[in-house]
Structure 1
């Protein structure tokens, strides 16, 4: 084994640094790529039914690792519960056990008998487009969902004939909206380029360490020589 003056093979420290950079870069790239983009993807809002909060063409980041849904959450869900084959985006206004109701002439919906404050709806009109009176006791494990643009949203109010009270199951929820400036999103997405930036110097360091070792091995190899033959 070829060693240096301190009992270590040449380029050892450089090789250790290379391994550390490659491992750290790989971990950061995987965490950033999976966490920041695969499990928290950016979607484009396809229609105006969530205006003014989320207009058509706007970007939305969804956390696909969501474990529960609260009132007011904007969710991405499988519209198969409504007999449709696509993903939809709506706001959950009532959860299992709630009673959501509307009486024509009222200026708001009521949640569990009290006026529901919805500052996010378009033009401050939460009852726009309501097809008529309704009173729904949301089954456990289901959600009553509405668009923020109530005058242009084919939401739970129009699904009474295809689902339980127009609701969707929590199990159909694929993700919940998360602020794209949230620390967890920024941190994870920053990890990807940081990890990528460590991989290159790690690879360069690894190549340099390997070359140093090969040169040391070559320099320490015994010199070949020939024995002269008498009379030749």
Structure 2
């Protein structure tokens, strides 16, 4: 009776551990699932316009929580500025305030008056497929976007009629490509199975804790009833005496 009154009966400690494991497992699973998969989804590259870095059919991960982009970033964006109703993928070549230009015969584009080094383009040919000369000063808050396969990319060079300088607003960007081996991605996604394992362990611990309490209650009941009867008998004898 003293043990029951103090609240430290059998299985109580295991029950506390079970609750802690369930809570921790749930938190890790939710954080890892939301961060690693919902806000950093894996998508399939739909075409070959981003070869050689990202060929068609390859999987890429985008960070949808990106707050800013810079030159060289590969972005997922809403192509509404180009009159399309879909999300597209291109590389940021120039940002607000930059001057991006091309003169037929040149072997590179120029950025702010200097040849632009683009080691990521297919076959090392950054001017392949260029429709003609252009000279664009990118407005603030907008981006000039090109594909890595310049000979097969319907990008800013072909969008001068649809939008200002062929650019898209920074607000159209929905995410930026992030490496699948990035520690943040790996950490968040690893949290899902770890959280699931902890939650399962917590559930099992809870079952054992509940069984321990039930066994303790069942074992204590006959003992308690017997003592009550003996006490009553003794009291009756004393009263009759």
1:172 corresponds in structure 2 to 172
Considering only CA atoms, is the larger Rg found in Structure 1 or Structure 2? 2
1:195 corresponds in structure 2 to 195
Deviation, 1:219, is 2.9
TM-score, scaled relative to structure 1: 0.93
Moved more, 210-219 or 161-170: 210-219
Asked if residue 98 in structure 1 is aligned to residue 92 in structure 2, the reply is no
Unpaired runs of 5+ in structure 2? 233-241
In structure 2, C-alpha distance between the alignment counterparts of 1:41 and 1:157, rounded to whole Å:
29
2:12 corresponds in structure 1 to 12
Task: Note closer, same or farther for the CA distance 1:19–1:107 as it changes in structure 2 (3 Å cut).
Answer: same
Whether the 8 Å contact between 1:97 and 1:140 is mirrored in structure 2 is: yes
List structure 1 segments (4+ residues) > 4 angstroms apart after TM superposition: 4-7
2:236 corresponds in structure 1 to none
In structure 2, C-alpha distance between the alignment counterparts of 1:41 and 1:104, rounded to whole Å:
40
1:131 corresponds in structure 2 to 131
1:223 corresponds in structure 2 to 225
Q: Secondary structure at the match of 1:104?
A: coil
The number of equivalent residue pairs is 226
Larger helix percent: 2
Unpaired runs of 5+ in structure 1? 228-232
TM-score, scaled relative to structure 2: 0.90
Matches within 5 A, 1:1-232: 3=3, 8-221=8-221, 222-223=224-225
Deviation, 1:215, is 2.5
Deviation, 1:212, is 1.5
Deviation, 1:163, is 0.6
1:230 corresponds in structure 2 to none
